[in-house]
Every structure is written in structure tokens, then in C-alpha cells.
Homo-oligomer: A and B are copies of this chain.
Amino acid sequence: MDNGFNFCLVTNECTTAKRLLAKKLNGFGYDSVQPTNIISPAPAACQYLLDNNLRPRLHVWDGVLEDFDPVMKKLNSEHRGTWQPNCLVVGDVMDKISRDYMDESLQTMLDCPEQVHIVSLGAGRYYKDSGRLRMDTGAYVSAFEYCLGVKAVVLGKPTGEFFNQALVKVGGKAEDTIMIGDDIVSDVGGAQNLGMRGFLVRTGKYKPSDETERGVKPDAVFDNLKDAIENIVNFSK
């Protein structure tokens, strides 16, 4: 943005690397969006691994592997290429799911002599893809939680861990920060839980009942993203 505001785009998209997400948005006309402006679960998980000194087994879709380059480079240089993972990172692996793939991830964790961790790139139950219902990340994470007796840290809206990373990126205090989104619970509610303001937009998955019946009260409602941003810019003048 060219109004002196810091911004970042917070998305739960966990099968596409932030570099390609930025490219896609540029293609839609959002020229000023850089990969560094994007918070998505994979880069957030990478940051979490670095912050907590964890060594991942990446049970994720190939499209987001590059988002883990920073932690993989660090570990490969520290350990000269061989190291024992102590943290299972679980994303939507789509067609990579097989009995062997699940079991290899489990085996890797059970081989670890230390306490293991699970980081999840989402907590969704299911979603629709080309008219077909698909089990989402949260379901497969449950399977690993059950086997390992460990509760996963979820990096995706609406978790505080995830919104915190967005706050760090925009460099502001929660009370000076506004989240704009079309999901009353995940976007607006999640941000409000951290002390940010949450603005709802009447686009995308918005339904009129969201304004009254979901137990979350948005700080403001706008017809679209443009209106919301113009209002913020004018208000701050």
C-alpha cells in the first residue's frame, strides 16, 4: 500500500508457496504484493520451527516445500545433511496420501528419542474441490495426534499463533491493527481475540446471517475490500 500503512495478506492456503501466491495476486492487478507481504501456513510454520529450534519431517504438499527452505538450509548446514526430525509438519498432501506415506511420517516421529511435536498447516475438517468432498488437514492431523499422544500447534486462521506472526510482520500493536476478511469467525473473530479490530466484508463466503448469528460482532462491515481500505485511509487522514 502506498498510504504509509504496513499490511500483510493472511491466508490459509497451504498447498501453494508464497512466491506463487504473490505472482497470482500480481496477475489479478495487485502489483504491490510481494512474497514478504504474505502470511500463509507454510512460511508461518517455517518461522515457528526456527523460533523453537525444531527439526521437521515435512508431511506437506510439494508446492510449499520451498517455503521451508530457511529452516532446511539452517539444519543442513548445522548437521551436515543428516539429522533426526523431532517435529511433524502436517499439511494437505492431497494425492500423496497413501498408507506408506502416513506410516513413514509416523515411523520418523517414533524413531525420535526426544519428545516430538506436531505443527499443522490448518485445522479444517473437509472442503469441496471440483464438486468433490475432500478430507482436510485437521482430520489427518487428528490421526497423528492420536498415534503420538501429542496435541498439534495449528498455524492457520483463526489461531493466535498465526495472527501473532501477522502482527510481527506489520510491526504494529494489536490495538493499532485491523484485520479485514470475509470470514466472520476465522478472520474477524480470530483477529479480535488478539486485540485487533476486525472488519467484515460482504464478499466471498459472506452471508447476511454472519453479521448477527455467529457470535462474533465485527467492528465494522463494508461492501468490499476497496470500501474498507478507503474508509481506513480517510479516517486516518
Contact = CB atoms under 8 A, between A and B. Distances in A.
Given A143-B140, A146-B142, A102 B106 contact: no
B107 A102 contact: no
Nearest to A132: B103
Interface in A122-138: 125-126, 132-136, 138
A20 interface: no
A146 B133 contact: no
- The A contact surface, by secondary structure, is helix
Interface stretch (A91-99, A161-169, A222-230): A91-99
A97 B95 CA distance: 11
Interface in A1-56: none
Contacts of A233: none
B134 A147 contact: no
B147 A99 contact: no
Nearest to A143: B139
A144 interface: yes
Given A97-B102, A98-B97, A147 B143 contact: no
B103 A94 contact: no
B139 A110 contact: no
B98 A134 contact: no
A219 interface: no
A145 interface: yes
Interface string A91-120: 000110111001100110010000000000
Contact of A135 (B106, B125, B126, B139): B106
Interface of A: 94-95, 97-99, 102-103, 106-107, 110, 125-126, 132-136, 138-140, 142-147, 149
The 4 lowest CB-CB distance pairs between A and B, nearest first, are A142-B146, A139-B143, A97-B99, A142-B142
